[in-house]
Amino acid sequence: MHYSDYMREETARFRQQAAAAVDPTLKRELLEYAEICEEVADQADRLRASG
């Protein structure tokens, strides 16, 4: 498994937790974490592709 795959799994996990969250502050933070994980995954893919 590549690091980017792991980060995308984390993205999905954070989004799933955000969907279940009742507290709006927690929901927003979880969605922010998901966005960060997705950005890290994209960056890892770009680095891997550039060699």
pLDDT the model gives residue 11: 98
Position 51 pLDDT exceeds 80: no
Indicate the pTM of the whole model: 0.89
Residues 6+ apart with CB under 8 A from 34: 10, 11, 12, 14, 15, 18
Q: Which residue is listed with tokens 């997705």?
A: 38
What local confidence, expressed as pLDDT, does residue 6 receive?
97
- pLDDT for the residue 50: 87
Q: Tell me the per-residue pLDDT of 9-43, one tens digit each, with 9 for 90 and over.
A: 999 999 999 999 999 999 999 999 999 999 999 99
Residue found under tokens 């709006």: 24
Please, what sign has the CA dihedral across residues 36, 33, 6, 21? negative
Dihedrals φ, ψ of 22, to 5°?
-95, -40
